[in-house]
């Protein structure tokens, strides 16, 4: 059995006759009949019943047609994948993510992508995880770097980051003078936090519940820059990813600390539509991210970052 014979079976199933199959494949009817006869001799099983000018497939032929469909789909996908790897990446890549991701992760990623694939046009959208999922499903976004979990059967999730969340205050705040910050030290403090319902806020709220703390929340927002601005002015304190405040902590504009006895972490991952074959642009995106991941400041070093705890 060979691919040509499977192709002939497919064409007979589609056209309903040997004659029409010959016209479709541009070969004579006698050549079609010869190939079918050879296949029947090889299998020891009839493949067609002749009814007048029409032919009717036997169960054996139907099984081979189904096999051929799978084989040709796999063949097309394999050839497409090989061709993709040899073709210069062009077109548009549409990405989405939250404010922190767009400010601190996407810039080095896009710089690397532009160097590796200069003809690829990358577009960004700032959005919540819920909005990003809607846009991915609608085909308006190719991939999102989103706070997890995102548990959707029609989407693929690839965890790639574990970001440490730290308490952040002005340098002059009383908590900044403590050797360690304990959970009970936070009682009665005014907070500026991420928006209610976000995955990051759920991590923070779980901490408050576990310590039986009822926080005083002055403001919640999806914009980490607003949180930082409010903290700098002394309006309140916050809990944010370290990479969002690493520069200000090193320069002395902000103080941050781990909360004693707790590791507050949020997980972030790539999310894209599930398909039979992952597009090459997604493969290249994931590879580019791996190339820049080591440059991201996800947690303070033990020394030199001005962080207590």
Please give the pLDDT value at position 304: 44
Q: Is the pLDDT of residue 286 over 60?
A: yes
Please give the pLDDT value at position 186: 96
CATH code, 202: 3.40.190.10
Residue 161's beta-bridge partner residues? Answer: 268
Could you give the 3-state DSSP secondary structure of residue 149?
coil
219: left (phi over 0), alpha (psi -120 to 50) or beta: beta
Q: Which domain holds residue 67?
A: 3-86
Q: What average pLDDT is seen over the chain?
A: 89
Helices (H), 128-269: 129-137, 199-210, 224-232, 242-250
| Interaxial angle between packed helices 224-232 and 242-250, expressed in degrees from 0 to 180 and rounded to the nearest 10 | 40
pLDDT tens across 226-273, in order?
A: 999 999 999 999 999 999 999 999 999 999 999 999 989 999 999 999
d(CA 162, CA 199): 13
What's the pLDDT band for 306 if we cut at 50, 70, 90?
low
The last residue of a domain, from among 86, 120, 144: 86
pLDDT tens across 24-58, in order?
A: 888 888 888 888 889 888 888 888 887 766 778 88
Task: Answer yes or no: do 249 and 120 share one domain.
Answer: no
Task: Answer yes or no: do 36 and 185 share one domain.
Answer: no
Whether the pTM exceeds 0.75: the reply is no
Task: Answer yes or no: do 259 and 283 share one domain.
Answer: no
What is the gyration radius of the CA atoms in the chain, in angstroms? Answer: 30
Task: Answer yes or no: do 13 and 79 share one domain.
Answer: yes
The last residue of a domain, from among 32, 53, 86: 86
d(CA 159, CA 228): 27
Please give the pLDDT value at position 77: 74
Query: If you ran DSSP here, which 8-state letter would residue 181 be given?
Result: B
Q: Is the pLDDT of residue 303 over 50?
A: no
Q: Do residues 250 and 168 lie in contact, with contact meaning Cβ atoms separated by under 8 Å?
A: no
Count structural domains, the chain. Answer: 3
pLDDT tens across 168-224, in order?
A: 999 999 999 998 999 999 999 999 999 999 999 999 999 999 999 999 999 999 999
Task: Answer yes or no: do 137 and 80 share one domain.
Answer: no
Least confident of 10-14, 107-111, 188-192, 255-259: 10-14
Task: Answer yes or no: do 187 and 252 share one domain.
Answer: yes
Phi, psi angle pair for 207, to nearest 5°: -60, -45
CATH code, 20: 1.10.10.10
The last residue of a domain, from among 28, 55, 86: 86
Phi, psi angle pair for 60, to nearest 5°: -65, -40
């Amino acid at each position: 059995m060979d691919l040509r014979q499977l192709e002939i079976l497919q064409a007979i199933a589609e056209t309903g006759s040997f004659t029409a199959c010959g016209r479709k494949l541009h070969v004579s009817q006698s050549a079609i009949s010869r190939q079918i006869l050879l296949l029947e001799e090889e299998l020891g099983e009839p493949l067609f019943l002749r009814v007048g000018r029409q032919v009717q497939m036997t169960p054996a032929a139907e099984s081979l047609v189904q096999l051929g469909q799978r084989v040709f789909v796999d063949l097309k996908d394999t050839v497409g994948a090989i061709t993709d790897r040899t073709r210069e990446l062009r077109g548009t890549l549409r990405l989405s993510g939250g404010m922190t991701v767009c400010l601190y992760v996407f810039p080095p990623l896009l710089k690397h992508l532009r160097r590796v694939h200069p003809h690829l046009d990358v577009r960004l959208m700032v959005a919540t995880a819920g909005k990003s999922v809607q846009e991915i499903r609608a085909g308006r976004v190719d991939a999102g770097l989103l706070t997890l979990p995102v548990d959707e059967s029609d989407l693929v999730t690839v965890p790639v980051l574990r970001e440490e969340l730290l308490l952040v205050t002005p340098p002059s705040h009383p908590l900044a003078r403590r050797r360690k910050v304990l959970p009970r030290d936070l009682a009665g403090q005014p907070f500026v936090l991420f928006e209610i319902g976000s995955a990051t806020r759920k991590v923070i709220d779980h901490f408050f519940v576990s310590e039986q703390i009822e926080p005083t929340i002055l403001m919640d927002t999806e914009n980490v820059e607003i949180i930082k601005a409010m903290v700098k002015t002394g309006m309140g304190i916050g809990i944010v990813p370290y990479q969002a405040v690493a520069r200000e902590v090193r320069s002395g504009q902000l103080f941050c600390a781990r909360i004693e006895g707790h590791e507050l972490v949020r997980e972030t991952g790539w999310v894209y539509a599930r398909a039979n074959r992952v597009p090459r642009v997604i493969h290249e995106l994931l590879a580019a991210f791996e190339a820049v991941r080591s440059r991201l400041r996800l947690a303070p070093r033990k020394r030199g970052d001005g962080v207590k705890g």
